[in-house]
Structure 1
């Protein structure tokens, strides 16, 4: 400031201005010291930080005209080849339940060699075809297959038939021991009680060709109204009855299975000339038995309707 300007202010005013300038300069020095300290801390951090952190790009404080990069989609189809250049994914194909080369159905659990009867070679692949030589095995199989997949019940059936090979053995079994064998199938308590009770009734009144028992609403709903369930019919009684109709646990599926695979054997009418096979009179509702009956009729040249039982001649 020149002398002319000094003359415009009094000494007190000049002193006040000088003090203000000193305070302003002091604040600038303080800010400069703070900035310098921050810069030193940042330098130390960048030197001692990990390699991954040191590779981070510095943040841009200002970008007056930010430029956005456009994403260019890569072509999914080659300009030189008609198909996309993608590595094909392997598909998992479920294996067949019946071997295309051997008559025996596939199963991880093979039948044990010590079964009390001889297994048969199946035509269609049903378990009943294999065990049809044993009526006791057919009944046990029907009870185990109730609300159960055959793949899960098959190994349990083999174990049951080896542990309790006869009705007498099963009748004297401890239900808790039976439960342990069939536990994986579910409903083990109810099934075990049913199996043991069935065996006891079997021992008391074994199925034989001369004893038939009434069953209401079988083979169709409304049938058998003139009989009582498990009513013993006389040999000359014209009402319909079944040789295993008195056994606990025997329902529609078990009766259909018995009539297709076991009744002619029990009555000694299998392959007897002039006698119509029992399976021809069965109209099963089961998803496995119905295709089997259709298969049997096709072998004789008939197109069998699994819903109605009507069978027109094949051309």
Structure 2
């Protein structure tokens, strides 16, 4: 079953954006900044019409720009994605993302982070809150990731519940610490296309996180994806 964000019946959530037309008259009527006389004159001005059409094209392109999430940037490395979503959980991106890159600069691989001093790691994420809990989870995650790395050929039973039927699909990362709903949704949306280019599993994800919903709605609205979010 596909996510409603990709349903062909147009019942998926729609982003609210102003309607862009190629008519100078319609824009002026909406803005009410130009009186009817000036409006008629402008609609006959070739330079104005040319500039307006160029503006309309650029505006459509701006609306078509999909959200750029950290999960998409690191989608080729599930370990990095899991580190990122662990920091993002209950934390705004403006704080979590710089902390994520800072961690990678000090501990760039699962081996490095698994061997990290918990107190030192905590000091790097103290401003995020719950730093001791997160630090222990990050080192534990990295250790188990090395011992039992995820594989597309070995799906594990998920411990979280889904809102639809109470059972979340099995995934290759379900056995890892911190693999909650947000992490599982992120993995299925962003990593599956890298690991299995023919997979369209990302279309069946029903995220609850608003940023992930916005990401999928953006693709549905602009129809920019054919075989996967990262192709």
* TM-score for both structures, normalised by structure 2: 0.65
Secondary structure of 1:213's partner? coil
Match of 1:166 in 2: 109
Match of 1:286 in 2: 209
Unaligned 5+ runs, structure 2: 1-58, 225-231
Q: Does 1:204 align with 2:127?
A: no
Which whole-Å deviations, capped at 9, do the CAs of 1:202-222 have from their partners, x for residues lacking one?
Answer: 111011112111114433365
Match of 2:36 in 1: none
User: Equivalent of 1:257, from 186, 195, 214?
Assistant: 186
Secondary structure of 1:129's partner? helix
Indicate conservation of the 8 Å contact 1:216/1:222, yes or no: no
User: Equivalent of 1:298, from 213, 221, 229?
Assistant: 221
Which whole-Å deviations, capped at 9, do the CAs of 1:21-47 have from their partners, x for residues lacking one?
Answer: xxxxxxxxxxxxxxxxxxxxxxxxxxx
Which whole-Å deviations, capped at 9, do the CAs of 1:66-114 have from their partners, x for residues lacking one?
Answer: xxxxxxxxxxxxxxxxxxxxxxxxxxxxxxxxxx9xx9xxxxxxxxxxx
Give the 4+ runs in structure 1 shifted more than 6 A: none
Which whole-Å deviations, capped at 9, do the CAs of 1:131-153 have from their partners, x for residues lacking one?
Answer: 22221111000100011110011
Match of 2:124 in 1: 181
Q: 2:115 & 2:214 partners in 1: Cα distance?
A: 37
Q: What RMSD in Å do the two structures reach over aligned CA positions?
A: 2.3
Taking the TM superposition and a 5 Å limit, the aligned residue runs for 1:144-159 are 144-159=87-102
Bigger Rg, which one = 1
Match of 2:14 in 1: none
Secondary structure of 1:288's partner? helix
Greater RCO structure (CA 8 Å; 6+ sep)? 2
* TM-score for both structures, normalised by structure 1: 0.48
Secondary structure of 2:210's partner? coil
Secondary structure of 2:90's partner? coil
Taking the TM superposition and a 5 Å limit, the aligned residue runs for 1:209-224 are 209-220=152-163, 222-224=165-167
* More helix, by proportion: 2
